[in-house]
Structure 1
Amino acid sequence: MTPKPLYSSSHLTLLLFTTATLTHCTMASTNFAQCLQDIKQGKFGPNAGVDNSGRPVPNLSLATAVPYEMCLIACGEGPEAFTWSDFSNQFSAWLLPWLALLSQLPFGANDKLENFVGVVLTVGSPVLAAYSAALTVLNGRWIVRRFSGSTYPNTYRAIRALSSLQQAPIELNLEWEVLLPSLIVLPENDHWWKDLLEHLNYTHTWSISAATSIAWVFIAYIFTVVDSLSDVLQGVEVNGQAVGSVWLWLLPIVVAWLQISPKCDSIRVADALRRANSIAYVATPTGTRRRAASVSNHYAIFLREDDSSLHNDERCTSPIYNYARLFSWTAAVEEISGYFHEATRRSHLFQPVASEVEWLPNDRNGVMRDENRIGTSFEVIAYCLSFFPRRYQWGSGVWGRIIVASALALILQWGTAGAAIFVVWETPTRGLGCRSGSYLIYASLSTIVWALLLLSSVLSRYSTFEYQSRDPRETQKHRIRASFAGTMSVFIRRLGKIIAAANAVWILATCIFQFSAFFDRCYCDSSALGLGAAKAFNVIQFNPEDLDPMRSAWIGGVFLAVGSAALYVIFINISINPHIPSSLKRE
């Protein structure tokens, strides 16, 4: 699928914001080097200077740092002057490649606004993006296990087709009881499964453009890391070492989606299902088979098209919304697999669909004869219905998949963001400051967005539960609870998206502030946020003994970020494309 271009307005907004920030920084006049010289000359008293541990020095000439409160008096509250060379070098090396890599994310909504919202959600909540990708892989493994033991014709095609429909808001028509059993049993519907699978067999996977973008980002990251480690003390206040780590989550997510190759183009998915449904057959009470389109406009499997705000995220085919389709998709798969299992059980007992005929042995290739799969509508329905049907409100194994996907997403987010926080924290003045605090806020809000949208999907599912009781009052109470859950689901989802949008702006602003020296001011450089105004101090001049701890911290941060990203990629590679028995692939 060809990547959709992002909104041009987003680029304009970023440009205007950057221009305003740089203009403000350019007008600043703080010069910490000159300030330290004035302090050493005794212009602000004998106690104005300290060492890099915050301890008083016996001689002002030995001062390399300034207490925060004295820094405000001697140096001023503003940032140091903006330097274009530092900004351009750091911005182009550490941030620009990541922004370019966003174009390789799969969108598929065929609507610019929906695609833009998908990008905002991804940047605003990497936890949600990583969770949806991991969940997609886990669902693919689960569906293979769910169909294990079924050998009825089209089992393999059903596994592949339903796995490919994770990005689609599929629904089952269970009111017309004969539609779904006919789709599974009737030999004429072999073409339905085959046609659907063929039209879903398109890929959004590796291409020269995607490989080039990923290679560019990876090589740029390696080069900039090596360059920063070779000269730790050069431009430390505007260095992008932490920025590279905080954005590293994007690389494994893009790689994961390229390997998964989600079928997320809404037009192509809808067209594939429409083409297949046009050739679907349905059994009749007389035993003849007719095109479903000639009987009614109802089909066994279709796409949700209602305009309810409760299902907005389910209807959007962008893969990041797979979190919202988990419960509905799982319920549909379980219903279909249950029919396949029951049909398989009866066929193993040599029971044909028609109750008044004898079972005909399979042909020499082991393929079931069509005569065994023909019957009246009542016989077709009975052939697929189990005496002991299993009904799951939430879906079997769904909570286990949620836990595993959540753990992987949180490891990726906090491994990369934690590396950025650690790098800045261990850069003098050590402690929680503007930079580390900004990354901490970003990771925290990302986690909150994921938690809110996950809760929203749970409430949305609960609101669809059916409950019947002999006591009308209990039934009415359930309806009230379900209605309230639906309302809260919509509210929480919208709140989560608002926070995600704010968080996306926040991380972009943080990176620009980092490169433009906006954070290079007394408050931020003194780590006053964590140390407090009374104990904070601003390290202006680094000593040789500061070099090794800083380099060790930066190397540790690189390993933490790369390690968490590698762990995620390894899991995706191990879990993707689960083994399907070769006996099913003969279809």
Structure 2
Amino acid sequence: MRVIHLGTFCVFLVLWPAAFAKTNFTQCLQMLNDGTFGDHPDGARNNKGMQVPAVDATAVSYDFCKTSCGAGPEPFSWTTFSTQFSSWLLPWLALLSQLPFGSTFPTDDVVSVFLTVGSPALAAYSLILTILNGKWVSRRLSGIRYPNVHYIWRVLNSLQQSSLNIDDSEGMLASLVILPENDEWWEEMAHGLDYTQTWSPSTISQIAWVFIAYLFTVIVSFLDTPDSVTANSNGQGVGSGFLWLLPIVIGWLQLSPKCDSARVGEAFFRADGKAFRATDDPTRPALASESTGHRALSLSSYKDSEARHDEEASAPIYNYARVLPWIANVERVFSVLHTAAERAACNEPVSPDARWKPADRHKCVADDNRRGTLEQVLLYACRPRAPQTGRIDPDFVSRFMIATAMAFFLQWATVGGAIIAVWFTPAIGLGCRSGSYLLYAAVGTIVWAIMVTSSFFAYYSTMESSDTLCARHSRMASRRAAGIIAVLLRRFGKFLATLNSIWIVLCCILQFSSSFDTCWCNASVLGLGKDAFYVISFLPSDIRAMTRAWILGIVLALGSAVVFGIFVYLHINPPSPAPPKRV
């Protein structure tokens, strides 16, 4: 409620100056043409910025505008504001409700909205990285002939939105992968995570409404260009500037991330009673829930690690924070699974005293070959040369670069379309509107850099290491420092994203409320400097040039959204690394 009151107060402050403004630039130009300010005043300009006689003037210099026309904005018009706001901005704000949420704490969902609007690059980066990770884990497990590979892939891929923890103490992970009694656990877990929250009738209608409203407003803006150039320019900028949201929402709906923390927790709870661990008796494995408090796979709670707080928030935009620990967990499961598959390919049973038994046509490895004591299970899953911890996987670097490139492409192309639409509205140059969009995109990029960097520091601060005890103690100070840096960066990044999201919405409101219709803004003083001038009357040649610029901006923004959407579609459904269990 306080946020709503604060937002209302901010809008009131924004609209207050325009509500009582009396500046009339059209009347000022008419007075100039009639000779009220003399026949050859210094401020008379044409639309190229050249000085002309007063009777031929269609523009005025910035100094003349301030002194003779008035430095304030034009009066606020509720009709114009409501029409522009409801046509160009309101559909995009409503579309934010279709973003995937599901975090345990509602504040994390609220912050995820600010992160998405404040940094479209971060939202696109998390989406693309999630899709590429799903494709990578499919390839990582492909070619492995061992039971449950199909379910293991589905479970690991579905848990990208969860703070996954893997515990191999007491042989939990090795038992979960190798023992035949755990086949039901993998199947139960995969089915428990197999739910979708996509493409409901309300979702489809809302996306269709946003897209159709955007098309209609674009068409109308071209039809009545001579009558309301500034209003149409503002609308073109807002429409292109928020167009990145459409492929982001559609992409998440296609992916259907498992981000409902309650349902994921329920899936773990229901599968928990079917997890077994090996014991000293190979024929009698024990239920993990009855013999130990450890679990091979569980949801982590980082109450004592503030640096990794974002990993617990299940909203998918936080996948940027989970990617490194998730990859490390996938590699741990892969190590056990790959080693067991290699030994099975050599007809080695878990128990050295047992003889290898051929499997029937429904299984790739017979159940009797997968039974053994706890010590035998651990040895069976042990690789002669374990991978070195802490290394950066070259495959991840490739996925990181692709996700970064696609994120920057979507953000800068759509916001760039908005910049083009207002930049080429005379007087051509950097002004309040184009400068606002440029600042928004720049800050969005900075937020992406801050949040991604914080995730790297957070992972390093709690990364497991195979160093000796002395070496481990020598690294403690640097890891504590990394944890502090991660927390500071994350908090600053969220603060900056919140300001940036508020900034872009307020900028749109400023445009629709005529608050940007001032001498300083319309003269593009930021770009033209002392030569700034304000075009009040547009000529047919100006309209044609603006129309071409608008078309270019729309093609750039809409084309980038389409390319991004095609990329998502082509990578979103990787093939299973193994067929499901035959019955």
Q: TM-score range by the shorter chain?
A: over 0.9
The corresponding residue for 2:267 is: 272
Give the secondary structure class of the aligned counterpart of 1:78.
coil
Partners of 1:462 and 1:95 in 2: CA distance: 41
> Is the CA contact (8 Å cut-off) linking 1:124 and 1:501 kept in structure 2?
yes
Match of 2:573 among 534, 558, 577: 577
> Is the CA contact (8 Å cut-off) linking 2:151 and 2:186 kept in structure 1?
yes
Show CA shifts across 1:527-547 (max 9, x none): 001111x10000000011111
> Which deviates further from its counterpart, 208-217 or 237-246?
237-246
Give the secondary structure class of the aligned counterpart of 1:80.
coil
Asked whether 1:505 is paired with 2:502, we answer yes
The corresponding residue for 2:225 is: 232
Q: Which amino acid aligns with 1:206?
A: W
> Is the CA contact (8 Å cut-off) linking 2:141 and 2:153 kept in structure 1?
yes
> Is the CA contact (8 Å cut-off) linking 1:361 and 1:369 kept in structure 2?
yes
Residue 391 (structure 1) shift: 3.1
Asked whether 1:244 is paired with 2:242, we answer no
Match of 1:73 among 53, 67, 71: 67
The corresponding residue for 2:551 is: 555
Residue 470 (structure 1) shift: 6.5
> Is the CA contact (8 Å cut-off) linking 1:232 and 1:550 kept in structure 2?
no
The corresponding residue for 2:401 is: 403
Asked whether 1:286 is paired with 2:278, we answer no
Partners of 1:579 and 1:469 in 2: CA distance: 38
> Which deviates further from its counterpart, 516-525 or 23-32?
23-32
The corresponding residue for 1:180 is: 173
The corresponding residue for 1:5 is: none
The corresponding residue for 1:53 is: 48
Partners of 2:356 and 2:107 in 1: CA distance: 56
The corresponding residue for 2:98 is: 104
TM-score w.r.t. the length of structure 2 is 0.96
The corresponding residue for 1:352 is: 349
Partners of 2:468 and 2:345 in 1: CA distance: 40
Partners of 1:334 and 1:535 in 2: CA distance: 62
Asked whether 1:305 is paired with 2:301, we answer yes
Partners of 1:440 and 1:505 in 2: CA distance: 15
Match of 1:120 among 106, 114, 120: 114
> Is the CA contact (8 Å cut-off) linking 2:43 and 2:60 kept in structure 1?
yes
> Is the CA contact (8 Å cut-off) linking 2:237 and 2:422 kept in structure 1?
yes
> Is the CA contact (8 Å cut-off) linking 2:169 and 2:294 kept in structure 1?
no
Q: Which amino acid aligns with 1:344?
A: A
> Is the CA contact (8 Å cut-off) linking 2:150 and 2:579 kept in structure 1?
no
The corresponding residue for 2:416 is: 418
Give identity over the alignment, percent: 46
Partners of 2:66 and 2:463 in 1: CA distance: 61
Residue 476 (structure 1) shift: 4.2
> Is the CA contact (8 Å cut-off) linking 2:43 and 2:63 kept in structure 1?
no
Residue 481 (structure 1) shift: 1.3
Task: Give matches, 1:395-544, under 5 Å.
Answer: 395-396=392-393, 397-466=395-464, 472=470, 475-532=472-529, 534-544=530-540
Show CA shifts across 1:280-339 (max 9, x none): 100002322010111111111111113121111001111000000000000000110111
Partners of 1:117 and 1:123 in 2: CA distance: 10
Match of 2:385 among 383, 388, 403: 388
Show CA shifts across 1:364-390 (max 9, x none): 334422111110001111111111222
The corresponding residue for 2:12 is: 19
Closer, same or farther: CA 94–423 of 1 in aligned 2, 3 Å: same
Closer, same or farther: CA 164–346 of 1 in aligned 2, 3 Å: same
> Is the CA contact (8 Å cut-off) linking 1:238 and 1:516 kept in structure 2?
no
> Which deviates further from its counterpart, 551-560 or 396-405?
396-405
Closer, same or farther: CA 585–393 of 1 in aligned 2, 3 Å: farther
Closer, same or farther: CA 190–582 of 1 in aligned 2, 3 Å: closer
Q: Which amino acid aligns with 2:447?
A: V
Show CA shifts across 1:243-269 (max 9, x none): 000000100000000000000011111
Residue 464 (structure 1) shift: 2.2
Residue 580 (structure 1) shift: 2.1
Give the secondary structure class of the aligned counterpart of 1:66.
strand
Residue 484 (structure 1) shift: 0.8
Show CA shifts across 1:388-447 (max 9, x none): 222342553212111111110100000000000011111111000000000001101111
Asked whether 1:220 is paired with 2:180, we answer no
> Is the CA contact (8 Å cut-off) linking 1:149 and 1:341 kept in structure 2?
no
The corresponding residue for 2:85 is: 91
Give the secondary structure class of the aligned counterpart of 1:368.
coil
Partners of 1:528 and 1:98 in 2: CA distance: 30
Aligned residue pairs, count: 576
> Is the CA contact (8 Å cut-off) linking 1:152 and 1:344 kept in structure 2?
yes
The corresponding residue for 1:317 is: 314
> Is the CA contact (8 Å cut-off) linking 2:172 and 2:295 kept in structure 1?
yes
> Is the CA contact (8 Å cut-off) linking 1:467 and 1:478 kept in structure 2?
no
The corresponding residue for 1:4 is: none
Q: Which amino acid aligns with 1:401?
A: R
Give the secondary structure class of the aligned counterpart of 2:514.
coil
Q: Which amino acid aligns with 2:221?
A: S
Q: Structure 1: state its 5+ residue gaps.
A: 1-7
Closer, same or farther: CA 581–303 of 1 in aligned 2, 3 Å: closer
Residue 22 (structure 1) shift: 2.4
Give the secondary structure class of the aligned counterpart of 1:85.
helix
Q: Which amino acid aligns with 2:533?
A: F
> Is the CA contact (8 Å cut-off) linking 1:109 and 1:115 kept in structure 2?
yes
> Is the CA contact (8 Å cut-off) linking 1:331 and 1:394 kept in structure 2?
no
> Is the CA contact (8 Å cut-off) linking 2:158 and 2:257 kept in structure 1?
yes
Residue 96 (structure 1) shift: 0.5
Partners of 2:555 and 2:185 in 1: CA distance: 50
Match of 2:184 among 188, 191, 194: 191
Partners of 1:160 and 1:585 in 2: CA distance: 13
Task: Give matches, 1:335-346, under 5 Å.
Answer: 335-346=332-343
Show CA shifts across 1:213-272 (max 9, x none): 100000000001111112223322233110000000100000000000000011111121
TM-score w.r.t. the length of structure 1 is 0.95
RMSD of the TM alignment (CA)?
Answer: 1.6
Partners of 1:381 and 1:439 in 2: CA distance: 58
Partners of 1:144 and 1:231 in 2: CA distance: 53
> Is the CA contact (8 Å cut-off) linking 2:307 and 2:483 kept in structure 1?
yes
